[in-house]
Structure 1
């Protein structure tokens, strides 16, 4: 692959940087991150010497990167714990099935309740007839 020159802008200043063909997008993305940090410095301090601006912007970006790497290590640690728990659950024996008892009403009771209901309805009809007379 051949090298090509790419213009990047950091802190309002233009730089010509060489990169491999096909890597321009990566270079532009990295330059945009550095430019964002440099712009903070320019907004806060004003015009500062180029080497100092690049150094400070690089350090600010490195600080953010270090913070993200620390968070990533924490998340990786949590993931290891969760994976271990999943494996533990996979390897654990299946729980014993619960015994569920369903109440069964004996046929004699069902027949007795049906008889009581029929008598109650007959009694209600008799009362209705006597009241309507």
Structure 2
């Protein structure tokens, strides 16, 4: 177990954390400190300051959870160069001509 000291609203709190999680806990502490600062509650009682920071974080989480899911877009193919499109058009026309010839031969047989 490791210990991490975080500063929230100008007050220091020492927390226990799992080994290897110290940096993560410190980042979370900074996030809470930012929320407390944004709420303008720095200097309030610890309980009130942490309550406001928690409410702001809960509001953000609520917004994220209730955001409409992005609509899945069909993957788009990269643009086909004009030269390739022209060549494919000629090939398609040739295949159609061959199909017509085969159909007419089958009809006359």
Task: Give the TM-score range, shorter chain.
Answer: 0.5 to 0.7
- Secondary structure of the 2:20 match is coil
CA RMSD of aligned residues (A): 2.2
Report the TM-score, using the length of structure 1 for normalisation. 0.51
Q: Residues 59 and 45 from structure 1, CA distance in 2 versus in 1: closer, same or farther, beyond 3 angstroms?
A: closer
Q: Which has the larger radius of gyration?
A: 1
| CA gap 1:57/1:46 in 2 versus in 1, 3 angstroms | closer
Structure with the bigger percentage of helix? 1
CA deviation after TM superposition for structure 1 residue 28, in Å? 1.0
Of 42, 46, 51, 2:47 maps to 51
Deviation at 1:47, TM superposition (A): 2.2
Give unmatched runs, 5+ long, in structure 1.
87-96, 101-133
TM-score, with normalisation over the residues of structure 2?
0.61
Equivalent residue, structure 1, for 2:35: 37
- Deviation above 4 Å: which 4+ runs of structure 1? none
Mapping for residues 1-133 of structure 1, pairs under 5 Å: 3-41=1-39, 44-45=40-41, 47-71=43-67, 74-75=69-70, 78-79=71-72, 82=73, 99=93
Higher relative contact order structure (alpha carbons within 8 Å, sequence separation ≥ 6): 2
Q: Which structure 2 segments of 5+ residues have no match?
A: 76-88, 95-109
Mapped partners of 1:45, 1:64: distance in 2: 18
CA distance change for structure 1 residues 16 and 65 in 2, over 3 Å: closer, same or farther? Answer: same
